[in-house]
């Protein structure tokens, strides 16, 4: 890497398909691409709990205004 600006660029992984069917090639992805998210399940549960809580508050508010 002789050019110092080379390290300041990023390169997308290879893709498969075209248009709406375009997706990253799973064989080209590595742990360096940020494809692992071990906390995804916990975050999903947390977001669902928050969403349910907001719906309950909205429902209670709607019933209270009747």
Report the pLDDT value the prediction gives residue 22, as an integer from 0 to 100: 93
Residue 1 lies in a domain: no
- Greater confidence (48 vs 1) lies with 48
Please check whether residue 23 is in contact with residue 17, taking contact to mean a CB–CB distance below 8 angstroms: yes
The pLDDT tens digits for 8-60 are 677 788 999 999 999 999 898 887 777 678 888 999 999 988 877 777 777 77
Residue 30 lies in a domain: no
Residue from 31, 2, 1, 25 nearest 13 by CA:
25
- Model pTM score: 0.38
Report the pLDDT value the prediction gives residue 66, as an integer from 0 to 100: 61
Residue 51 lies in a domain: yes
Domain tally, the chain = 1
The residue range of the domain holding 63 is 38-66
Residue 61 has pLDDT above 90, yes or no: no
Residue 60 lies in a domain: yes
Residue 22 lies in a domain: no
Residue 42 lies in a domain: yes
């Amino acid at each position: 890497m002789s050019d110092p600006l080379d390290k300041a660029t990023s390169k997308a992984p290879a893709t498969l398909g075209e248009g709406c069917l375009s997706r990253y090639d799973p064989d080209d992805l590595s742990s360096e691409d940020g494809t692992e998210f071990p906390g995804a399940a916990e975050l999903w549960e947390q977001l669902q709990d928050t969403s349910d809580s907001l719906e309950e508050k909205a429902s209670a508010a709607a019933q209270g205004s009747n």
